[in-house]
Structure 1
């Protein structure tokens, strides 16, 4: 059994990108722990759970319960149920503090995403967390990152090389195409009074479109532009994988896309969560078979899979 740590922001993380991997990793027999900046229980983005407030009438108290876009954009029923189950998990309710994390205490690191600037920036900008992430890469321990979690990795600098830990790695992340389409939907058909809801960071005057997108910033951390991977044209099911209209499930991962580079697994958005988690479980099993041991530290000491490359 591997011991996995999932750092979370205090609020606004994506529920699908946390709860689905939590469920799958536990099903594979792994122990999953959590961490937040202050050691208090984290809270997911409520809009992604309820869908209330994502339609253009969402600012009206009497109408916000009426959902149209909200039904399509919120976490699906499976993810919402997984999140409800996770809320009763002892480890989720009693997270560690970022400052107490030690690389040697864990066998794997999973970095989830979320997009709402209100809560996500503290997670993405934490120097304490960046150093912890860098330690995992420097020791070549298994790391999985999805969506904005890849951005947290891209901002982490190796103590050995002085370069971003993704420099020399192949990765995917939230594509600008998906990020910009969601942003446009909010500006013109949804939450127009909060048009930046889907943009964690926005461009300033004179900066090109997408410069501060997840894809834009991650690309700048790589050794070469071709190390950023999108679904190749001509891939079977290309539209299903790239339209943002379909999500994978326990029984069907045809809509998903992940990239594996050694002990590093990356994915794009909540629609990849099942394949992302099962692929990471495979990497953990492979690493355990190679080393023959897990971390072995007691909890008290801390008071169909596949991939595309």
Structure 2
């Protein structure tokens, strides 16, 4: 069974994008460990787990099923005792998962030089790496010796501009830039890190949330041992793709 590392920020990550892969991999017998910037337990975005979005909650909040998985994950012993990003020996991990989230706390992961070094090492070793939503920004900023991103020459997806800007426009009158982690969109930064624009694959314009019974509703892009997804609605297919990589590695 594999030793999987999930990189987290200090706070504000998406509960679905963490709990679904954690649950599927753990139930399959793999060990999922966690690392945060300071080695302290990190909780998900409270607006996504508790506060909600008023009348928009049915569209923007995680479903009860995924929130139950998050509660299960957040009470697990390994979750409660994460390592620091800079204390991880990359030789000791068999796979790497980088979830997303959009609130400002995500910057503590995306801008972590220690986390970026772990990503570079994982790609150099060609172990399975999965990134979803804003997690792909960490990969875009992870530079190899030649100065290029680990995504240069890879096909990938990520949170698309229509997805990001729609959520922002629906909420900005009372939440401001809550849905804008950075001034530029995720997709624009990812595209800039790629060898060619066509390597960014946005998936279908109209998307449905996948489920444990219907993972085919999700969208992922796989390129070798790297798998990427756009948003929490792809989480089950993303997790199953990671399982396939682990079982084939």
TM-score class, shorter: over 0.9
Q: Structure 2: which 5+ residue stretches go unaligned?
A: none
Q: Which residue of 1 aligns with 2:59?
A: 72
Give the superposition deviation at 1:70. Answer: 1.9
Per-residue deviation, residues 118-138 of structure 1 (Å, max 9, x unmatched): x11111111111111111111
One of 248, 253, 268 as aligned partner of 2:210? 248
> Aligned runs of 1:85-164 on 2, under 5 Å?
85-117=72-104, 119-159=105-145, 161-164=146-149
C-alpha distance in structure 2 between counterparts of 1:116 and 1:23, whole Å: 23
Give the secondary-structure state (helix, strand or coil) at the position aligned to 1:9.
Answer: coil
d(CA) in 1 for partners of 2:135 and 2:58?
A: 24
Q: 2 CA distance for matches of 1:201 and 1:37? A: 19
Q: Write out per-residue CA displacement over residues 121-165 of structure 1, whole angstroms, 9 at most, x where no aligned residue.
A: 111111111111111111111100000011110110113x33110
Does structure 1 residue 268 correspond to structure 2 residue 230? Answer: yes
CA contact (8 A) 1:137 1:158 kept: no
CA deviation profile, 1:177-234 (whole Å, cap 9, x unmatched): 10010011012xxxx23221100011xxxxxxxxx11100000000001000122xxx
The CA distance in 2 between the partners of 1:7 and 1:279, in whole Å, is 18
Greater fraction of residues in helix: 2
Whether the aligned pair in 2 keeps the contact of 1:51 and 1:70 (CA below 8 Å) is: no
Work out the CA distance in 2 between the residues paired with 1:83 and 1:22. Answer: 9
Name the CA distance, whole Å, in 2 between partners of 1:266 and 1:28. 20
Tell me whether 1:169 sits opposite 2:154 in the alignment: yes
TM-score, normalization by structure 2: 0.97
Q: Contact 1:116 / 1:200 at 8 angstroms: preserved in 2?
A: yes
Which residue does the alignment assign to 1:258? 220
Runs (4 or more) in structure 1 with deviation over 6 Å come to none
Quick check: 2:216–2:237 contact (8 Å CA) kept in 1? no
SS at 2:41 equivalent: coil
CA distance in 1, matches of 2:219, 2:175: 30
SS at match of 2:215: coil
Return 5+ residue gaps in structure 1 as ranges: 55-66, 203-211, 232-237, 288-309
Counterpart mapping for 1:212-223 below 5 A: 212-223=184-195
Aligned-partner SS, 1:276: helix
- The CA distance in 2 between the partners of 1:100 and 1:280, in whole Å, is 24
TM-score by length of 1: 0.78
Equivalents in 1 of 2:215, 2:38: separation in Å? 36
Q: What root-mean-square deviation, in Å, do the aligned CA atoms of Structure 1 and Structure 2 show?
A: 1.1
Q: Tell me if the contact between 1:34 and 1:91 (Cα under 8 Å) persists in the aligned partners.
A: yes
Rg larger in structure: 1
